[in-house]
Amino acid sequence: MKALIVYYSRTGTTALLARLISDEVDGDLMEIGDKKNREGLTGVARSIWGAFIERKPKITEIERDISEYDIVFIGTPLWAGNIAGPIRTFIIKYREELGRVAFFNTFGASKSQQIFDNMRELAGKRPEGVLSLRKKEVEGKRGEKAVYDFVEEIKEGLEGFRL
Ligand SMILES: Cc1cc2nc3c(=O)[nH]c(=O)nc-3n(C[C@H](O)[C@H](O)[C@H](O)COP(=O)(O)O)c2cc1C
C-alpha cells in the first residue's frame, strides 16, 4: 500500500510529526509551500486573518501524482482554530485525486475537532484516522506512541491492506 504524507509547516512542528508518520508507514513525504511572507508579527497576523476568512493562497508546484497513492495523510498546524491556508488550497485543488485520507494537526493551546470536520468537508471524504498533538507531545516520547497508535488503528480499519 502506497502512502503519501502531505503537510504544511511554518515553524517545523507539523513537519516533525509528518516525519514520524512517514517513518511509521514507510511513506513518501511532501511539503507544501506558499509564496506568502509569514515571517514575524505581520506574517502571523496575515496567517491568522487568512485562516479566519478561509483564504486559499497559491501553493508551490506539486510534482507527484497524488492519485497513485492508496492513502494520503494530510497535516496542518492549527491556525485561528482552522486549517492553514496552503493545506486548504491543497485539499481543494487535489480532492478529486485523493483516495483514502487521514488527517493530522499540531496546535499550541487547545485541541480542535472542528478542524477535522472542516478538512473532511473540503476533501469530501471521511478520514481513516485523525491525530492532533501539541508541540511538546510531538517532540516527546508521547508523540511516538501516539503516532504508533494512530497508524495501527488505520491499519486495523484497512484490513487486507498492508501499510
Ligand atoms: C497564525 C497562527 C495561528 C495559530 N492559531 C492557533 C489556534 O487557534 N489554536 C492553537 O492552539 N494554536 C494556534 N497556533 C499555534 C500553532 O498551531 C502551533 O504552534 C503549531 O504546532 C505550529 O506548527 P508548525 O511549527 O508546523 O508551523 C497558531 C500559530 C500561528 C502561527
Give residue 157's pLDDT band: very low, low, confident or very high (50, 70, 90).
confident
Q: 111: CA distance to ligand 1 center in Å? A: 11
Grid cell of 61 as nine digits? 508546484
What pLDDT score was predicted for residue 122?
97
Q: How many CA atoms lie within 13 A of 71 on its CB side?
A: 24
pLDDT by residue (tens digit) across 12-40? 999 999 999 999 999 999 999 998 999 99
What pLDDT score was predicted for residue 44?
96
| pLDDT of 161 strictly over 80 | no
The verdict on residue 19 lying in a domain is: yes
Ligand 1 environment, Cβ below 6 A? 9-15, 44, 47-48, 77-81, 106-110, 135
| pLDDT of 163 strictly over 70 | no
What is the average per-residue pLDDT within 117-146? 94
Q: What percent of the chain has pLDDT over 90?
A: 88
The verdict on residue 84 lying in a domain is: yes
Q: What is the DSSP letter of 30?
A: E
What is the average per-residue pLDDT within 118-129? 97
The verdict on residue 162 lying in a domain is: no
Range of 22's domain? 3-157
What pLDDT score was predicted for residue 106?
98
pLDDT by residue (tens digit) across 76-114? 999 999 999 999 999 999 999 999 999 999 999 999 999
The verdict on residue 99 lying in a domain is: yes
Grid cell of 127 as nine digits? 478520514
- Ligand 1 atom with the smallest distance to the CA of 16 is 26
Mutate to test the pocket of ligand 1, among 76, 79, 134 (most ligand atoms within 8 A of CB): 79
The verdict on residue 71 lying in a domain is: yes
Q: Are strands 71-79 and 82-83 parallel, antiparallel or unpaired?
A: antiparallel
pLDDT by residue (tens digit) across 35-76? 899 999 999 999 999 999 999 999 999 999 999 999 999 999
The verdict on residue 126 lying in a domain is: yes
What pLDDT score was predicted for residue 160?
62
Which CATH number covers residue 14? 3.40.50.360
The verdict on residue 21 lying in a domain is: yes
The verdict on residue 163 lying in a domain is: no
147: nearest Cα among 78, 68, 75, 99: 75
How many folded domains does the chain comprise? 1
